[in-house]
Amino acid sequence: MNNRAIVPLCPLDTAPVQQLCMGNVQVLRLDQWGGVAAGNKRFKLRRHLARATEQGMGRVLSFGGAWSNHLHALAAVGAELGLQTIGIIRGGEQPTPMLEDARAWGMELVPVSRQEYRRRYESAYLETLAARYAPCLVVPEGGGGPEGVRGCVEIAELINRLDRHWSRVVVAVGTGTTLAGLAAGLECADELIGVSALKGAGALADTVQQALADSGLQAKVPWRLKHDYHCGGFARTSPALRAFLQAFEQVQKVQLEPVYTAKALYAVHTMLRSGQWSPTEPVLFVHTGGLQGRRGYTWLNQGCE
Ligand SMILES: *Cc1c(COP(=O)(O)O)cnc(C)c1O
């Protein structure tokens, strides 16, 4: 996938979602761009995988849980590039359709105990893994690090190329890698807002600063985090979030998933509804994908497909 390909930008319908018009919001549909590995994870992986190819490493290994969007994308993109992929899977979890996909794309799945999984940042452990599967590139959990950040700068460049100005650009945040890349690249927004999908992510701003520093990059746009939309914690939902997601999808015909994108867009909806954001100011919502994870939520799938 080259960067010049057009990422769909779609304005939200003016029909109200829970009594509120969201017509000032446009959605950058990364969820519709990149085939089976649509979303931000393809961008996060791009530089890592380029490095594997440059260094002649035919194998790439990384880490994740049974619902990891990162491992799912790694398996898909690795298969596209002809790289072997290995997923170290956090133990004690049931098999999932996500891991089934990854296996079907050729990823070798290696379940490890929770105790072993906790060592995923220890250099001695990483060296052992790299040696066991040599020649093998080890990519950090989630696809972060400077390569991940620089890959996400490319999302900002796609936005810059739209040649429009935004009062706010909004994105969901897990590790903060995508936010860091956007902050380093955006030239067409007054403000960048990251909505944390995790509860108690107090250190996240420092993590983003550090990710920028480690990448040798600086923010080009003021950015801040919202911590009040985790709706109970990572991968959890609240009745209000579920109601919003369902109302939104029904009106807008844009699918969301509960872990990241619904929370971030719920934040947008709440800020507009409370009047803290003006309905005349243009907002760009970066839809980071993750739709394959919808299969983990039975309430979401009742009555569709
Ligand atoms: C991983 C992910 C995010 C968060 O990206 P980070 O770079 O970890 O902050 C957001 N949305 C979706 C759908 C994701 O899969």
Reported as a single tens digit per residue, the pLDDT across 12-43 is 999 999 999 999 999 999 999 999 999 999 99
Would the pLDDT of 303 be above 90? no
Binding site membership of 69 for ligand 1 (Cβ less than 6 Å): yes
Ligand 1 lined by 40 (C-beta under 6 Å):
yes
- Catalytic choice (62, 68, 196, 215): 68
Please report which residue ranges of the chain form alpha helices under DSSP H: 40-54, 69-81, 97-104, 114-117, 123-132, 145-161, 177-185, 204-214, 239-252, 261-273, 298-301
What φ, ψ does residue 298 adopt, rounded to 5°?
Answer: -65, -40
What is the 8-class DSSP label of residue 78?
H
Q: Look at ligand 1, atom 13, and give the residue with the nearest C-alpha.
A: 290
* Percent of the chain residues past pLDDT 70, beyond the cut: 97
CATH 1.10.10.1100 fits 40-143, yes or no: no
% residues pLDDT > 90 (the chain):
93
CA of 180, closest atom in ligand 1: 7
For 182-242, give the secondary structure using H, E and C.
Answer: HHHHCCCEEEEEEEECCCCCCCHHHHHHHHHHHCCCCCCCCEEEECCCCCCCCCCCCHHHH
Mean residue pLDDT of the chain comes to 95
pLDDT the model gives residue 5:
61
177 lines ligand 1 (CB under 6 A): yes
Per-residue pLDDT tens digits for 134-190: 999 999 999 999 999 999 999 999 999 999 999 999 999 999 999 999 999 999 999
174 in contact with ligand 1, CB cutoff 6 A: yes
Equal CATH topology for 9-38+145-300 and 40-143: yes
Say if residues 175 and 206 touch (Cβ distance below 8 Å): no
Q: Which CATH number is 9-38+145-300 given?
A: 3.40.50.1100
pLDDT score, position 91: 86
Which residue type occupies 218? Q
Is 290 a pocket residue for ligand 1 (Cβ < 6 Å)?
yes
Residue pair 64/90 in contact (Cβ under 8 Å)? The answer is yes
CA of 38 relative to ligand 1 center, distance in Å: 12
Domain borders along the chain are 9-38+145-300, 40-143
Gap from CA of 173 to ligand 1 centroid (Å): 6
Cα 214 from chain centroid (whole Å): 20
Mean pLDDT of the 242-257 span: 97
- Between CA 29 and CA 8 the distance in angstroms is 5
pLDDT score, position 6: 79
Q: Tell me: the pLDDT tens digits for 31-88?
A: 999 999 999 999 999 999 999 999 999 999 999 999 999 999 999 999 999 999 999 9
The answer on pLDDT for 304 being more than 50 is no
